[in-house]
Structure 1
Amino acid sequence: MNVIRKVGLFIDSIFEKFTLLALLALIFVVTTQVTTRKLFNFVFFWSEEITLLLLAWFAFMAIAIGFREYIHLGIDSFTNLFPKSFNKVLDKIISASIFAFGLYLVIQGWGFTVLMMESTLPATKLPSSVTYAVMPITGIMICVYSLLQFFNINTTRHKEIEEGM
């Protein structure tokens, strides 16, 4: 069981690092794009396409990390009105719903990825499927996180930052 945990944490770390790398690359490309446009009246032909691609990848992967860290939308002020036993059942329903969303991303994302394999992006000539490949990857991660949470396994990797509360 310890080996499975280590492999899972390794995959999760790669996923998180790739997400952060996508964000850093996005910042770098946009900064370069703005700087070259304002200072030299020149824009790299690929910069807007890469920006949109990185934004899509970062956004989808950040969704999965948000589910992992339990920072998805919740209405605690409402659910705190109910007894703990009800909230435990509600948590299972939420985990199952999140799993269904992840499964939807896997199925639909794979369909889009396969559908777009023949076309290419105009500036970079990358296959258009690279834009959609993030959907099934994110869906798999969401399914894994929701299954772990369904069985009361804590998936958070980062501690909350308390601000003098």
Structure 2
Amino acid sequence: MLGRLSFIHAMLRRLNTAITLLVKWVVVVLALGMAFCILFQIIMRYVFNNPPVWTEELALLLFSWSMLLMLAVGVREAFHVRMDLFLAWLPKTGSQVIERIIDFAIAAFGGFLAWSGAEYMEMMAGSTSAAIAYPINVLYAVAPVCGVMVFLFSLELLLDPKRFERQEDAS
């Protein structure tokens, strides 16, 4: 059983590493596109006094995707804000149990975000954005994508047998 769990964790870790690398590159491209949109908006507004209507909406779309994609990466790489003062007061076994509960709750949140985001996309099918008139589901698709990634990344944390060994060594 433990051998299968280690194999599943290793495969999940490889998959998540590839996803994380891809997401980081995508976010760089999205951030550059967002910066270009904002810069173009500023130039057109203050130099030519003729701001385009599409730049703000496109920048918001790119911002939404980049932030939610990096939110998921933050779950995997643990660079999100966290308060662990309570965990420091507990004995090692107690803090490990609480950590597992937190990982499970994060996985459940990811699953819920994926499910509810997909339902919302289904409800909004056929709608378009105001300025550019792209299908609004392009914007709303970020919720289920982020939810699936949060679920996968937190599942990797849940199945990591060496995670708590590293915590004990650091103490």
TM-score bracket for this pair, using the shorter chain length: 0.7 to 0.9
Q: Which 10-residue stretch deviates more, 139-148 or 9-18? A: 9-18
Structure 2 residue identity aligned to 1:131: L
Q: 2:70 aligns with which of 62, 73, 92?
A: 62
Per-residue displacement from partner, 1:89-122 (whole Å, max 9, x unpaired)?
A: 0110110110111011101110111222211112
Contact 2:13/2:156 (8 A) holds in 1:
no
The structure with the larger Rg is 2
Instruction: Tell me the number of residue pairs that the alignment of Structure 1 and Structure 2 aligns.
Output: 155
Cα RMSD, aligned residues only: 2.1
With the length of structure 2 as denominator, give the TM-score of the two structures. 0.82
Q: Distance in 1 between matches of 2:161 and 2:44?
A: 48
Judged with a 3 Å threshold, the aligned counterparts in structure 2 of structure 1 residues 68 and 129 are, in CA distance, closer, same or farther, namely same
Greater relative contact order structure (CA < 8 Å, 6+ sep): 2
Q: Which 10-residue stretch deviates more, 46-55 or 5-14? A: 5-14
Per-residue displacement from partner, 1:133-158 (whole Å, max 9, x unpaired)?
A: 00000001000010000112689xxx
Q: Which residue of 2 aligns with 1:19?
A: 27
Q: Which residue of 2 aligns with 1:73?
A: 81
Structure 2 residue identity aligned to 1:46: W
Identity in percent: 30
Shift of 1:40: 1.1
Flag structure 1 segments of 5+ consecutive residues without an equivalent: 156-165
> Which one has a larger percent helix, Structure 1 or Structure 2?
2
Q: 1:84 aligns with which of 76, 84, 92?
A: 92
Q: 2:52 aligns with which of 44, 50, 57?
A: 44
Judged with a 3 Å threshold, the aligned counterparts in structure 2 of structure 1 residues 18 and 53 are, in CA distance, closer, same or farther, namely same
Q: 1:123 aligns with which of 131, 134, 147?
A: 131
Flag structure 2 segments of 5+ consecutive residues without an equivalent: 1-6, 164-171
* 1:147 counterpart = 2:152: no
